[in-house]
Amino acid sequence: MGYSIAEVAEKTHLTAHTLRYYEKEGLLPFVHRSDSGNRDFMDKDLEWLELICCLKKTGMPIKRIKEYIGLCLKGDETLEVRRKIFLNHREEVINGIADLQKNLDKINCKIKYYDSACDCEK
């Protein structure tokens, strides 16, 4: 026996609605249903959800995540394609980090200015 959708929602900090949406979009093709029709999540499903959340949080569109999962279902013949997906995504994440760092530098510069300006008025 696995986890109910409510238990998975609590463990992953995702809503049941989000989990249903992911399933509808084809991101959770592995989740089995009990005899009564309820979703029955296993530990491996939680691992998939962790990866899905990682990819989403780092900007990968659901369409690309779905493509990746579809490739996984096809087996080892798609290993190189999956590797390229992750290489490309890593490059996008690295570029995003660089952009964030530039913005953080600007914010820090403003804070430094205001720290100096506030000290002058005291």
pLDDT digits (tens, 9 = 90+) for 3-50: 999 999 999 999 999 999 999 999 999 999 988 989 999 999 999 999
pTM recorded for the entire structure: 0.84
- Could you give phi then psi for residue 5, rounded to 5 degrees? -65, -35
pLDDT tens sequence across 42-66: 999 999 999 999 999 999 999 999 9
SS3 (DSSP) at 33: strand
First to last CA, the chain: 66
Region of residue 37 (left: phi > 0; alpha: psi -120 to 50; beta: else): left
| E strand or H helix at 73 | helix 62-74
Question: Which domains, ranges and CATH numbers included, belong to the chain?
Answer: 5-121 (1.10.1660.10)
- How many helices (H) does the chain have, and how many strands (E)? 5, 2
